[in-house]
Structure 1
Amino acid sequence: MPRYLTDSLPGRHGWPIALAHRGADPDRENTLAAFSAAVDRGFGYLELDVRTTADGVPVVFHDETLERITTGAGPLAERTWDELAQFRVVGEHPDGSPGEPLLLFEDLLSAFPHIHLNVDLKDAASAEAVATVVHRHDAWARVLVASFVDAHRIAYRDHARRLTGRDDLPIAHSGGTRAVATLVFTHRFPLPVFRKVVERLRRDVDLHAVQVPVRSGPIPVVTARFVERCHQVGLAVHVWVVDDPAEMERLLALGVDGLVTDNGAGLAEVMAARGHWPQR
């Protein structure tokens, strides 16, 4: 099991992890200011998104286009980093400042050398770009790679192996949409059958954790049975995005291994009451 996850799994010290969703600051999402505030609050895990510029630079950014949260416009992938550096993230800035600049993935990785990063690869180009940066900093043990598209994660793994010359590199992965759907569909099967399903997924697409919503439309995902089954086969269960403290308490009581939140203050309070804070 990759070191990123071992502390949160059953049988270890039992601390579920708290992940600051894009920095847990919707007004300044995916900015250095948001992540810095989360770390100062006590977060040890930061959830973020990465896209790659026209000149191959990985940038911490969620959307395909720039309009929703920046002063720029158009697809991020069509801009160079020098062009993107001129834009600002639009949010509430009481001091009258023009907003936060966009953030290089490498700058975030360097800023917090003891913090874990949960990196959602939003495009195919980010797989190689992020692996190159992680290799440069030898930060494999503190990065978990996620993506709705399993092919992005596999490309990251394969590039990491080429860079290091190691096929046994302990990279942490969470499953993509198809892998998670398979687990949700099969977790009620007898345990030996479910175990074979997970073994096949691990062989085909790598899998150490599942990061899931509480529900998918009318279908409940995070149930006591689902959490138990995942634990029986060594999978960590992280739930996104949970902002209500009562819901946080309910999910922690089910035994989930991590919560992703925009409500940093609320999750910090819930974790502190359990003796699980700070986490950095």
Structure 2
Amino acid sequence: MPIPYLENVLPGPGRAPVAFAHRGFSPAGHENSMAAFRAAVDLGYGYLETDVRTSADGVLMVFHDATLDRVTDGTGPFSARTAAQLRQVRIGGVEPIPTMEELLAEWPDVKINVDVKDRPGSALLAGLIERYGAHDRILVTSFSDRRRLGVFRTLSRPAASSGGVLSVAALTSLGRVGLARTLGRAARMQAVQVPVRYGRYRLVTPAFVSRCHRAGLAVHVWTVNEREEMERLLEMGVDGLMTDRADVLAGLMQERGFWPQRVQP
């Protein structure tokens, strides 16, 4: 069954490779802020990548780290604070931490790649998908397959998904013996989102991409910031790239006729 999230159709023949703005776009380092997401959308991005964590009082917030220290003017565990307290913290001393609902509602035409960082977030994300009818706009992923699959327990219809660490590891080994399609179905995934390398092991190769495609799985690669590497991977046939350098990837996609990727409602 076709998954609308993965059908990145632009004017002209065929599909375009997907360009993801990784945590939005902010040269100032204000990642996962509404300003960073707005900058990416203004560049023409139709796909945003983000992370979600749960506040102490059960609100799903857009944030990557388990602690506030690296990117905000706050300190300590993220999960120890209520949503109201987290809204007082500033990313880079400037930008407030958004809620997932705020991001979902801001651009009804934009698709969002959501990495679920804690167990309570699974049910909360499912609730938001249902409330906004966002099944075709969300790709659910997580390093934990348990968290990822937890989102689907209460959804009324399917949404796209990328496998967690265990699913990708199994795909890497079993795919070589022709079991990639079977594994993809069993793991309830339509895409694999992976780095070029795990340590010294080069994961994304022409053979890996080919096996995934034969199994009906899209290949999205993170986090690619150098233009030369972007070009190499696109020539290899990957289906999407995630980048912190949204400006560089947008320029490359423009040259190839794949831009802009935001389809106005």
Q: Are 1:138 and 2:133 an aligned pair?
A: yes
Secondary structure of 2:133's partner? coil
Task: Give 3-state SS (helix, strand or coil) of 2:136's partner.
Answer: helix
Cα pair 1:19 1:45 within 8 Å, conserved: yes
The residue number in structure 1 matching 2:222 is: 240
Query: Which runs of structure 2 are paired with 1:165-176 in the superposition (5 Å)?
Result: 169-176=157-164
The residue that corresponds to 1:95 in the other structure is none
Q: Deviations over 1:28-58 (max 9, x none)?
A: 1000000000000000000000000011100
Matched, 1:249 2:231: yes
In structure 2, how many angstroms separate the alpha carbons of the residues matched to 1:116 and 1:35?
Answer: 12
The residue correspondences of 1:125-204 to structure 2 (distance < 5 A) are: 125-160=120-155, 164=156, 169-189=157-177, 193-195=178-180, 198-203=181-186
2:256 alignment partner in structure 1: 274
In the alignment of these two chains, the number of paired residues is: 257
Distance 1:184 1:77 in 2: 34
Deviations 1:186-217 (A, max 9, x none): 3332xxx324xx324422x3110000000111
The structural deviation recorded for 1:25 is 2.1
Deviation at 1:261, TM superposition (A): 0.1
Question: Cα distance, 1:184 vs. partner?
Answer: 1.6
Q: What's 2:240 paired with? A: 258
> Which residue is 2:206 aligned to?
224
Task: State the SS of the aligned residue for 1:18.
Answer: strand
State the TM-score, normalized to the length of structure 1: 0.89
Q: CA deviation at 1:13?
A: 1.6
Q: Residue 14 in 1 paired to residue 9 in 2?
A: no
Secondary structure of the equivalent of 2:176?
coil
User: Could you tell me the TM-score, scaled by structure 2's length?
Assistant: 0.94
Q: What fraction of aligned residue pairs are identical, expressed as a percent?
A: 48
- What does 1:28-177 correspond to in 2, within 5 Å? 28-90=30-92, 98-160=93-155, 164=156, 169-177=157-165
Residues 184 and 217 of structure 2 are in contact (CA less than 8 Å); yes or no, is this contact kept in structure 1? no
SS of residue matched to 2:213: helix
Identify, as 1 or 2, the structure richer in helix.
Answer: 1
Measure how far apart 1:62 and its partner are.
Answer: 0.1
Name the aligned partner's letter for residue 145 of structure 1: V
Give 1:111 deviation, angstroms: 0.4
- 2:5 maps to which residue? 4
Structure 1: which 4+ aligned runs deviate by more than 4 Å?
none
AA paired with 2:33? Answer: T
Tell me by how many angstroms 1:153 deviates. 1.2
Q: Is the 8 A contact 2:171 2:183 kept in 1?
A: no
Select the residue among 183, 193, 205 that pairs with 1:211.
193
Letter matched to residue 248 of structure 1? M
Contact 1:214 1:240 in 2 (8 A): yes
* Greater mean deviation of Cα atoms: 138-147 or 69-78: 69-78
Letter in 2 for 1:7: N
Residues 3 and 170 in structure 1, CA contact (< 8 A), matched pair in contact too: no
